[in-house]
Amino acid sequence: MKQVEIYTSPICGFCVRAKRLLDAKGVAYVEHDVFSEPGARAEMAERNPGARTVPQIFIGGAAIGGCDELHALERTGELDGMLAA
């Protein structure tokens, strides 16, 4: 399975929804809290220029967007293929 990274904040409902979907699918992920990790927000913006909101989700190093995009990939059946190694 490809590495999944998610940039989050502790007060973000969309972050909770995105993590809930990943958890339900049994997907392990690396979480970067933009509030408590120095430099995490700048790193997020560098990896996905123009990204200002959380969550920002990366699969195999590729930016896929936020919670809505993650759920859209799940609805269309594309998420499993993206996660496959």
CATH number at residue 62: 3.40.30.10
- Are residues 84 and 5 in contact, defined by beta-carbon separation less than 8 angstroms? no
Q: Cβ of 52: how many Cβ atoms within 10 Å? A: 9
What is the reported pLDDT for 11?
95
- Are residues 7 and 34 in contact, defined by beta-carbon separation less than 8 angstroms? yes
Q: How confident is the model at residue 13 (pLDDT cuts 50, 70, 90)?
A: very high
- Are residues 1 and 79 in contact, defined by beta-carbon separation less than 8 angstroms? no
Q: What is the pLDDT of residues 61-71, one digit of tens each?
A: 999 999 999 99
The stretch 69-85 carries a mean pLDDT of: 95
Q: What is the pLDDT of residues 22-51, one digit of tens each?
A: 999 999 999 999 999 999 999 999 999 988
Residue 64 sits at φ, ψ, to 5 deg, of -110, -10
Structure token pair of residue 40: 């995490």
**% of the chain exceeding 70 in pLDDT:** 99
The range of the structural domain enclosing residue 72 comes to 4-83
What is the reported pLDDT for 16?
98
For the chain, how many structural domains are there in total? Answer: 1
Beta bridge partners of residue 63, listed in sequence order: 58
Average pLDDT in the chain: 96
